[in-house]
Amino acid sequence: MNAQTTQGELPLVLVADDKKNMVRLMAKVLQPDARVCTASGGTEALRIVENEPVDVVLSDLRMPDMDGIELLKRCKEIRPQVQFILMTAYASTLTAIEALRLGAYDYLTKPFEPEEARAIVLRAIGRAAASRSEPLGGDSREEILPGTIARSDAMRELGSLVRRVAQSDATTLILGETGTGKELVARAIHALSPRARGHFVPVNCATIPVDLLESELFGYVKGSFTGATVDRAGLFEQADQGTLFLDEIAEMRFSLQAKLTRALEERAIRRLGEGAERAIDTRIVTATHRDIESMVSAETFRADLWYRLNVAVVRIPPLRERREDVELLAAHFLRERAPAYRQQIIGFTRAAVAAMNEYDWPGNVRQLRAAVERACVVSTHERIDVGDLPPEVVGLEPRESGMARLADLSWAEAGEQGRIMTARSYLEEVLRRHEGQVSDAASHAGVERESFYRLLRRFGVDPNPHRGQK
Ligand SMILES: Nc1ncnc2c1ncn2[C@@H]1O[C@H](COP(=O)(O)OP(=O)(O)OP(=O)(O)O)[C@@H](O)[C@H]1O
Ligand SMILES: [Mg+2]
């Protein structure tokens, strides 16, 4: 290992790339905020991750001995809390999205500005620090499950339920409104289960095109359809000995639901175009934000599948029903986020806490996180104040409050805040018009789909609440 500086307390970033100038550039940009060590290939990178307290891995997609995706999977197995950032060329953005699906923190498209890289790595460091350190107040009991912060009684009970469910191997259904932490809980179930050494394979049934989902899940043999040029194992097989997480299960097409039911009954699958069945040893965890019980009554979701999926049910309460968690979570996200910004933000004013406690958070924890992140950007004080929170949280009409607040700022600050507000309103309106369909929204906006995703993440806009409503 080639540590460029030796201060023990600084976060450790591993740059894996076979190009020396990239490594040098990153080491320079990250100083003095992080120690940087380097690996010229995947094998060396893995050895370092195994032996050193690496917080963030920044890896090239293409390396001679291993590609970045493989490195990502193996890093996550060795050190689940490691934050992984993939560097890709423009042409491989599909792979970048695959990386996010596999748990990468973010990706950088080459060529990138050093400042952009720096900001992303610092954010990842913040995330790593938050998952390592204890919540504010130093009480580690407030991490009820890996990565899940809460202090309300409802969530503590949920924590112990999830631990029991994790041990059981039962097919598990996670219910909860958007942004309540369903995916976090699914990951915790896997991590706390006897299958933790196997793969956790997440599949979002809402974002994979309907026609692809079947072959993604079950795999196919060469020649079974146009484009099937090789044999391919499906996600069921990839999750062998592990956990398959079928997210947004309510969006699965009816005909595919029948196939899934059969696979669960038989504990076997058949690749598309193949005669023989293959036994599978996979635990199934599913999630939905929909009222799936009503869908079963309305016969838009198959009852036989429903009975198989709800062997164990975990219901995550919305944030407004556990307001004790709001301040704790806000502090957690602040700590995670603040290191990425140069200014020292140490907390919230009492008025800001009161406003957050009052608000109903229809987008739940995800919305709270986005609100805190934006507040970090706009706040010019030591403590985040009411005026730094999004207008909907404070209970004012956007225009009115926006203008009043802008006028309190300097020209430069107002410009920055105005830009953020405009971008966000724009993205939300475009998504609303396209019913949350990101591809359509992106083409409306005249940008690539993946760039659009990046904008959504940057401005904390969630496409989900816009789905299916006009
Ligand atoms: N209790 C928690 N502690 C820390 N972070 C949380 C908690 N709950 C949710 N989050 C964060 O909030 C965001 C949303 O969580 P997650 O993606 O698990 O929600 P979800 O229920 O799957 O949402 P959706 O239905 O929209 O897919 C994530 O960034 C997650 O890390
Ligand atoms: Mg989810």
Which domains can be identified in the chain, with CATH numbers? 12-132 (3.40.50.2300), 140-315 (3.40.50.300), 321-466 (1.10.8.60)
Neighbours of 373 (CB within 10 A): 20
Three-state secondary structure call for residue 139: coil
Tens-digit pLDDT profile for the chain (470 aa)?
Answer: 443 333 446 889 999 998 888 888 888 888 888 889 999 999 999 999 988 889 999 999 988 899 999 999 999 888 888 999 999 876 566 677 778 778 888 888 888 888 888 888 988 888 887 666 533 444 445 889 988 999 999 999 999 999 999 999 999 999 999 999 999 999 999 999 999 988 999 999 988 888 889 999 999 999 888 888 888 899 999 999 999 999 999 999 999 999 999 999 999 999 999 989 999 999 999 999 999 999 999 999 999 999 999 999 999 999 999 999 999 999 999 988 766 665 578 889 888 898 899 899 999 999 999 999 889 888 888 889 888 899 888 875 444 455 666 777 777 777 777 777 788 888 988 998 998 899 999 999 988 888 888 888 777 788 877 776 54
**For strand 12-16 and strand 148-149, is the pairing parallel, antiparallel, or unpaired?**
unpaired
Q: Which atom of ligand 1 is nearest to the CA of 180?
A: 21
Cα angle: 103, vertex 187, 197; to 5 degrees: 85
Residue type, 139: D
| CB of residue 445 inside a 6 A radius of ligand 1 | no
Got the DSSP string for 143-211? EEETTEE--SHHHHHHHHHHHHHHHH---EEEE--TTSSHHHHHHHHHHTSTTTTS-EEEEETTTS-HH
What residue's CA is closest to ligand 1, atom 12?
A: 366
pLDDT tens digits for 396-442?
Answer: 544 445 566 677 777 777 777 777 778 888 898 899 899 889 999 99
Burial class (CB in 10 A: 0-12, 13-18, 19+), 332: buried
Q: Which atom of ligand 1 is nearest to the CA of 144?
A: 1
| CB of residue 365 inside a 6 A radius of ligand 1 | yes
Buried b (16+ CB within 10 A) or exposed e, 157-171: ebbeebeebbeebbe
Q: Which atom of ligand 1 is nearest to the CA of 178?
A: 25
**pLDDT at site 141:** 54
Q: How many Å apart are CA 342 and CA 7, to the nearest integer?
A: 20
Q: Which atom of ligand 1 is nearest to the CA of 288?
A: 25
**Which helix (H) or strand (E) element contains residue 445?**
helix 438-445
Neighbours of 268 (CB within 10 A): 14
Long-range Cβ contacts of 139-145 (<8 Å, 24+ apart): 142/328, 145/184, 145/185, 145/188, 145/192
Q: Which atom of ligand 1 is nearest to the CA of 155?
A: 1
Q: How far is the CA of 413 from the centre of ligand 1 (A)?
A: 30
Q: How far is the CA of 287 from the centre of ligand 2 (A)?
A: 8
Q: Which atom of ligand 1 is nearest to the CA of 150?
A: 1
Tell me how far apart the terminal alpha carbons of the chain are, to the nearest angstrom. Answer: 55
Sign, CA dihedral 413-417-422-423, equals positive
What residue's CA is closest to ligand 1, atom 2?
A: 148
Report DSSP state, residue 299: T
Q: How far is the CA of 268 from the centre of ligand 2 (A)?
A: 27
Neighbours of 297 (CB within 10 A): 11
Q: Which residues touch 80 (CB under 8 Å, ≥6 apart)?
A: 146, 191
Half-sphere CA count of 408, side-chain side, radius 13 A: 13
Neighbours of 295 (CB within 10 A): 16
| CB of residue 363 inside a 6 A radius of ligand 1 | no
**pLDDT at site 135:** 39
pLDDT tens digits for 84-132?
Answer: 999 987 656 667 777 877 888 888 888 888 888 888 898 888 888 766 6
Sign, CA dihedral 189-193-196-199, equals negative
What residue's CA is closest to ligand 1, atom 9?
A: 181
Q: How many Å apart are CA 17 and CA 40, to the nearest integer?
A: 5
Q: How far is the CA of 161 from the centre of ligand 1 (A)?
A: 18
Q: How far is the CA of 402 from the centre of ligand 2 (A)?
A: 31
Q: How far is the CA of 183 from the centre of ligand 2 (A)?
A: 5
3-state secondary structure 360-391: CCCCHHHHHHHHHHHHHHHCCCCEECHHHCCH
**pLDDT at site 175:** 97
From the DSSP assignment, how many helices (H) and strands (E) are in the chain? Answer: 20, 18
| Torsional class of 449: left (φ above 0), alpha (ψ -120 to 50), beta (otherwise) | alpha
Q: How far is the CA of 29 from the centre of ligand 2 (A)?
A: 34
Report DSSP state, residue 81: T
Q: How far is the CA of 178 from the centre of ligand 1 (A)?
A: 8
Q: Which atom of ligand 1 is nearest to the CA of 181?
A: 18
Find out whether 286 and 244 touch, Cβ atoms under 8 Å: no
Q: How many Å apart are CA 19 and CA 38, to the nearest integer?
A: 11
| CB of residue 289 inside a 6 A radius of ligand 1 | yes
Q: Which of 366, 369, 464 to mutate to test the pocket of ligand 1 (most atoms within 8 A of CB)?
A: 366
Q: How many Å apart are CA 179 and CA 186, to the nearest integer?
A: 13
In terms of Cα–Cα distance, which of 183, 184, 185 is closest to 204?
183
pTM value is 0.62
